[in-house]
Amino acid sequence: MIRRPYPGGMRFFVFMRLKVNGDTIETLNAANVRQLLCELGIEPAGVAVEVNLSIVKKSEYERVRLKEGDTVEIVNFVGGG
């Protein structure tokens, strides 16, 4: 977790670090898979999501909560033979 000062106050934002598609990202609001996709601007249709090597079904996007240090893979289809 990373704490960053809240502008003009004594409070802190608490950022969560996730590893998404190999990159470490910091997020404030992505508490679950649905929110993470939303934050990244990714349409759920046509993608598959894996959290810590387990596939998350689309119906579970809301239910599966993310926590500090989770490894997330988000894949889709690209050209291939």
Partner 1 sequence: MEDKLVIRDMEFRSRLWVGTGKYKDFEETARAVEASGADVITVSVRRVNITDRKSENLLDYIDARKYKILPNTAGCYNVEDALRYSRLAREAGISDLVKLEVIGDERTLFPDTLGLLKATEILAGEGFIVFPYTNDDPIMARRLEDAGAAAVMPLGAPIGSGLGIRNPYNIRIIIETAVKIPVIVDAGVGTASDAAIAMELGCDAVLVNTGIAGARDPVAMASAMKHAVIGGRQAFLAGRIPKKLYATASSPFEGMI
Using the contact rule CB under 8 A, the part of the chain among 4-12, 17-25, 27-35, 61-69 near partner 1 is 17-25
HEC secondary structure over 3-48: EEECCCCCCEEEEEEEEECCEEEEECCCCEHHHHHHHHCCCCCCCE
77 binds partner 1 (CB under 8 A): yes
78 binds partner 1 (CB under 8 A): yes
* Residue among 13, 26, 55, 68 that touches partner 1 (CB under 8 A): 55
Least gap, CB of 2 to partner 1 (angstroms): 19
Residue 60 is classified by DSSP as G
